Structure 1
């Protein structure tokens, strides 16, 4: 019977706490009894001079009695520890549940309904006279709350089930024998069960596989790594771990596997990855020995089999790559593997593809998720891993490379290149077509898509390296101050693609026959996110702002971007709808914050206020001009996207509003908390303004032929600048109406002029 919502919310864990206390007393009492039996009765019996029947029967009875008292103590101690851990975890889960239901649901006006089977649904109750129409943000909040509550319930059910199972094994159902399974903690019992299930391999039923997934999911998050380390050690070592995952992956992705089995194996891929990341984190109190990394590297180029007489065997890195795609890995473990795989790929890009299972669905194999490749090429997998491992990614791209032999051992000398950024952006670097399809080259569209898997994964890795967050982190994740190495990497990225924009150019059936599509255009979306993250640095570069200026603050160490490279970089990156939306959203949010600082902040400047507003608006408007021109080029020159695609991409990039405003808190102080967060503006208003601006920034072919700088985007830039001033004025009642009009006028004039500058820079740089 599943643990219900009502069970968790209403149960009185005080009674369980009292039982835990009672068991602790029993343990202490039995400990004394066991010690007394060992040092008293048993010791005297062993030293006595028995004769006749007493020499055997009585002595054996005394020894057996002493042993049984000791077993009773061990059993009681096991029960106490399991109950104590279970009580602690359930109390914490109940507290989280009451917060979700009592605080969060009430605040959102949401009702929670128990629908049975350990699940709830959340809904907005109908109020008479209400239209029942909800914003997307409200719907997203409802879904997030429902998922959170169901997750808490599922975790509580796992704890409840593990406690019950451990108690049963400790007791053993034998009234005359106390010697059964003993556990030092609930964790020990959960590890035992997880390993017990894993040893069944593909003989696990669907229900057993779901149980294993639940055990891994809720225990792989432990701060000390105890469960994760125990689980992987229990599998029997690196090769056994690879064999188990390989067996399960093929079982779940084979042609005769059910949809239920495939979904469970996809889940296994994730939770085993998270668990491996936890187990290999050297910062944890419990972690796998360092030689696990060396063994994985040795196994990387060896074929791994799991069945007797198996013919087709994958390489170790193909199997391991499926696990590495999930989890935030310690650089000490991940980076040697990432360097080894990259160097193997450089030497022979097709080494791992020689045994790909052609003629199967792309989900078949060791990347059941099917995302960014089949997993036959482990380079894509390890780049995705770096995309989820920010610290490792930063070190990978900013520290000097280490050379590795084919067996994964370090070797003297350098690997033949200065940095991995240089290597991946070399025009001669080979990206592979990672798909199981037969004769894939005959399908041009599929080939193009598959060739983009590697560059997209590279973009994810660069995002993590430069932002300090996993590339797909939650939209509400905090911004992290930029370190020196991160800022230098951004500088190098802008220089690299500013000097070589053809690397990321996409000429899809365009009119420019003399321009070829670049091999790395697939990472432009990530470059857009990096630009948004470093918006202060990009605005500084537009008009060569003095490094000591505080008008356009950077968030942490400044990237000191080259202005010429910056314009060309933005012009090429902005042709991607996702990148355009991220850059435009961040630009307008940042400009709004800067204008607020000018109007409402303190300043010793003797320049006029309207002159300072003019200067505050100019860089952002110039970037808007570059973006308008880039959008027009993408639609009419390169035929890579439509206005509809640009507009649709915008909604997904609104996370940059709060993130950019969050970066500005340090500068302007907390004056108007919004929804409990010390953000300076009502972000919903800014988001609405940005969406209107992006939808307004359209272009028709006639306008493009007449001159790209005169698109509708200029009007959008003017409106955006005016809106930034209006936001600032709304908080300042000391500025009279005439001055307010002058400030709006100065902002509009500056925006129009700078927008034209930006469009012209982009058009001229495209000709160079």
Structure 2
């Protein structure tokens, strides 16, 4: 495959390719007419003629061959025209995307990409996440262009053939057809593929997986659902056995690409798709042993192999949900049903149908299908809408399968809860759980599922979330941070519907009241965990900072909003503090203090003394007159916040606010990764302007900040009481 840089893609003149495609299209039309004339005129006349002597054989055969060559020339020209036309369209899209990054997105980040060689520009010093993402996208776009270039060259060679005296060999109705043919040629080699061939197969699949014409042709070319499973099983097991990191990496790429392609090919809304019988046969194969030579007598069930593919791709609910429901039913009836086929290879934990290694080795299809729902928001939303399935998966008697070959692993049962968390993230946010592109899609159904989650995971219930769920619960809370704040306004008194309308009425849509008591319990559970605390606190910082900037025209409301935000921070802070105290209740005080110092959460929990908040830099926010209390309201905690907000939902929350809620200046809406101390002043200007507008003296200003600190203390005290009662 040729090596192209993003500069090559940006600068190439595609008009020549477009004109060439048009010329071949016109040539094909001319040849079509000539071929028709030969078939309807020359050939019939030749066949009716009374040839004598040599003419009876030589001339007649020559006319027959000539007529065929006209038809073959037309076929070849048409094939070339189709391939070139598709290539021109695809490369034009890629070029437009590259130029937009070079000319628009890059300069916004201070990156001058024009005139610099290849990938050098964005990869020299990519220190900020946004720059790194641009660099990655440029690399992917250039690689995609290179794959198209290679596919076109191969298709043209096959169309023309190697015989200069004979027109027409392979004929393609599209570039997709040529690419699927090559992918199937490579797939036919199976585990004997060289690394170079395997890389080529993955490249073709990756860049065409979402094209239903390609994906449908590829899966149909594999034969049947059973043959598709057999192919994936052979490749997966061959690449996960033993210590072969290069082949394992190739298998990971194949898993992702084949899964994405299966989602595309089974979506009935796509113009081209597999027949419904494929879904039916997959379900029929689900509990049938599939002969797999690499496992010998241990024959896996169809669902175990299929699960490896379901982990990737955005699946239509009509395809994946019946599979998920069937797998859940089987698990409820016999939790060990699928575990009985696990091979006895405790020294080889990667061996299995999940080369990615995420949440299991791939022998538990329930974990696999939940991961699939985590990438399929609409399917996940429909799956959890009624609540029945969530109740089943979180009931006291429910046991998760140990989806690992390492029987000594302490985390053998963690994969299932982790995958459940991913599925719930997709169901409550309308967004694949690990997609870093901003794009929350909340609606009444996602909010209803979030309400169920908040009610479910509470200290007042018997359901106790496993540690693997905490990061997901934190991200779900971050995605609904505005509604969590809205729900807690009446917490501690002082709020009513009028106040809430005034403080939250600027949002782009109606808020959801999850009930302040249930929200407090939910935050208590999640923020007790260090990871959950960091994610929720970072989201709270983003939301508070963004919203305060929108109250510059209404400082009184801004003050009230800040009070409520400080209260929410108090809830989060005390939840984490109490857990640390609980974890170290039987240890010396010094050990407790050392743990507090190590924990990033410590930077958020302000105890009211200058020594505690010295590292936060409170005087940089409003100047020396601000006092330490201001750090309590929205602790910026640059070091601790950056990592937590680097998660997807920090960015998602920010983008959601920009698109649907508060409308304020760009500085207040920067991602936390880019926030520096100089920006902190911008985040707190609304409160400073309020103090200046009403002419507060230094004494009154101090009173204001003490009031806000009291709101933070109120949140902490209520959580302390709740802990003591619990």
Query: How does the TM-score come out when normalised to structure 2?
Result: 0.85
Q: For residue 760 of structure 1, report the CA deviation from its aligned partner.
A: 2.5
Matched, 1:579 2:532: yes
RMSD, matched Cα: 3.2
Mapping for residues 356-755 of structure 1, pairs under 5 Å: 356-358=342-344, 359-399=346-386, 419-437=388-406, 440=407, 443=408, 446-447=409-410, 449-474=411-436, 476-480=437-441, 482-498=442-458, 500=460, 503-504=463-464, 520-544=466-490, 546=496, 549-550=500-501, 551-552=503-504, 556=509, 558-601=511-554, 610=556, 612-638=557-583, 643-647=597-601, 650-654=641-645, 659-665=652-658, 670-673=663-666, 680-684=668-672, 687-688=675-676, 726-728=684-686, 736=693, 738-739=695-696, 745=702, 748-755=705-712
Tell me which residue corresponds to 1:707.
Answer: none
Q: 1:322 to 1:682 in 2, by over 3 A?
A: closer
Once the two structures are TM-superposed, the CA of residue 81 in structure 1 deviates from its matched residue by: 1.2
d(CA) in 1 for partners of 2:661, 2:232: 51
Q: Could you say which residue in structure 1 is the equivalent of 2:713?
A: 756
Match of 1:708 in 2: none
| Structure 1 equivalent of residue 150 of structure 2 | 161
2:17 maps to what in 1? Answer: 16
Secondary structure at the aligned position of 1:26 is classed as: helix
Using the TM superposition, give the Cα deviation of residue 490 of structure 1 relative to its aligned residue in structure 2, in angstroms.
1.3
Structure 2 counterparts to residues 97-108 of structure 1, below 5 A = 97-108=98-109
Q: Within 5 Å, which residues of 2 pair with 1:58-207? A: 58-110=59-111, 120-122=119-121, 138-207=127-196
Matches of 2:431 and 2:109, distance apart in 1? 28
**Would the alpha carbon gap of residues 7 and 336 (structure 1) be closer, same or farther in structure 2, given more than 3 Å must change?**
same
Q: Is the 8 A contact 2:180 2:217 kept in 1?
A: yes
SS in 2 for 1:450: coil
Contact 1:304 1:313 (8 Å CA) reproduced: yes
Deviates more, 1:362-371 or 1:106-115: 106-115
Asked if the contact 2:549–2:664 (Cα under 8 Å) also holds between the matched residues in 1, the reply is no
8 Å CA contact 2:76, 2:171 repeated in 1: yes
Q: Aligned to 1:305, what secondary structure does the other structure show? A: coil
1:725 positional shift: 7.5
How far residue 525 of structure 1 moved from its aligned partner, in angstroms, is 1.5
The Cα of 1:220 is off from its aligned counterpart by: 1.2
Query: Aligned-pair distance for 1:296?
Result: 1.0
State the alpha-carbon separation in 2 of the partners of residues 309 and 341 from structure 1: 22
Check the 8 A contact 2:484/2:514 in 1, yes or no: yes
Change (3 A) 1:420 1:668: closer
Larger RCO, structures 1/2 (Cα 8 Å, 6+ apart)? 2
Contact 1:113 1:120 in 2 (8 A): no
Q: CA deviation at 1:66?
A: 1.0
- Match of 1:570, SS state, is helix
Structure 1 residues 237-256: aligned runs within 5 Å: 237-255=224-242
Take 2:528 and 2:459, find their aligned partners in 1: how far apart are those partners?
17
Give me the whole-angstrom Cα distance separating, in 2, the residues matched to 1:642 and 1:636: 9
Q: Which segments of 5 or more consecutive residues in structure 1 lack a partner in the other structure?
A: 126-133, 400-417, 505-518, 602-608, 675-679, 692-719
SS in 2 for 1:574: helix
**TM-score of the aligned structures, taking structure 1 as reference length:** 0.80
**Does structure 2 conserve the Cα–Cα contact (< 8 Å) formed by 1:628 and 1:759?**
yes
Question: 1:728 Cα deviation (Å)?
Answer: 2.0
Secondary structure in 2 matching 1:239: helix
What residue number does 1:353 align with?
339
Deviations 1:327-357 (A, max 9, x none): 1111111111111111111111111111112
Query: What is the alpha-carbon distance in structure 1 between the residues aligned to residue 678 and residue 287 of structure 2?
Result: 50
> How far 1:380 moved relative to its partner?
1.0
- Residues 484 and 218 of structure 1: CA distance in aligned 2, closer, same or farther (over 3 Å): same
1:282 counterpart SS class: coil
Superposed CA deviations along residues 22-62 of structure 1, whole A, max 9, x for unmatched, are: 22221121111001001111222334455665554443332
Candidates 303, 313, 316, aligned match of 1:330: 316
Gaps of 5+ in 2: 585-591, 602-638
**Whole-angstrom distance in 1 between the partners of 2:720 and 2:260:** 46
Query: C-alpha displacement at 1:103, in angstroms?
Result: 4.3
